[in-house]
Amino acid sequence: MKIALTVGHSILKNGNTTSADGKRYGGCNEYKWCKSFSKQVASALKKNGHTVKKIVCPEKKFTSSKQEKPYKLNQINSGNYDLVIELHLNSAAPSAKGTEVLYTSSAGKKYAKKVQKQLSAVFHDRGIKRRDDLYILNGTKPPAILIETFFCTNKNDYKKAKGVLNRQKLARRIAKGIG
């Protein structure tokens, strides 16, 4: 398949990151972790025979998070992709934990289920969730999934995800789920 792998959020011109930041709870910054993780996910998918285009918003260029949407959708919807995978981390009170994969389309649901099964072997299983209000799920021509790998605000979740070896393991699980 030809896969668009996108990283949620960006760093704005004023230096603010548009993502959650769980560092004060012993977790991590969502955007920064996902940006690093995208390297391992891209290579795991390529190893399984897929063509992967990584889409990461330019840093310190946008003045608003609203500019992320057209930046990504223009590339995705003109690129003849078979699947879109967007990387995020969840955030909430520090006790919230676990993994979930979001989808809108029925094709997306199929991939969401398989990726959820893989990631829930590592993190608490929150199940797949249908969300019809997210542009990366409802605005893309190809089916899309949004992976909330874990909670950036949860210290124990982050322990299982910290460092390049853990990122590689998690990336292999995602690639296995995609098939």
Chain positions contacting Zn ion, by CB under 5 A: 8, 88
Closest contact distance (angstroms) between CB of 100 and Zn ion is: 12
Closest contact distance (angstroms) between CB of 90 and Zn ion is: 8
CA 73 to each of CA 2, 35, 66, 105: distance values in angstroms, whole numbers, following the listed order = 16, 18, 12, 16
Q: Which residue lies nearer to Zn ion by CB, 48 or 59?
A: 59
Q: Which residue lies nearer to Zn ion by CB, 65 or 75?
A: 65
CA 130 – CA 55 distance, rounded (Å): 23
- CB hemisphere CA count around 121 (13 angstroms): 12
Closest contact distance (angstroms) between CB of 60 and Zn ion is: 19
Q: Which residue lies nearer to Zn ion by CB, 81 or 151?
A: 151
CA 124 – CA 120 distance, rounded (Å): 6
Q: Which residue lies nearer to Zn ion by CB, 8 or 142?
A: 8
Q: Closest residue to Zn ion, Cβ-based?
A: 88
Q: Considering just the CA atoms, what is the radius of gyration of the chain in Å? A: 15
Closest contact distance (angstroms) between CB of 121 and Zn ion is: 23
99's tokens: 């993994």
Classified as helix, coil or strand, 154 is coil
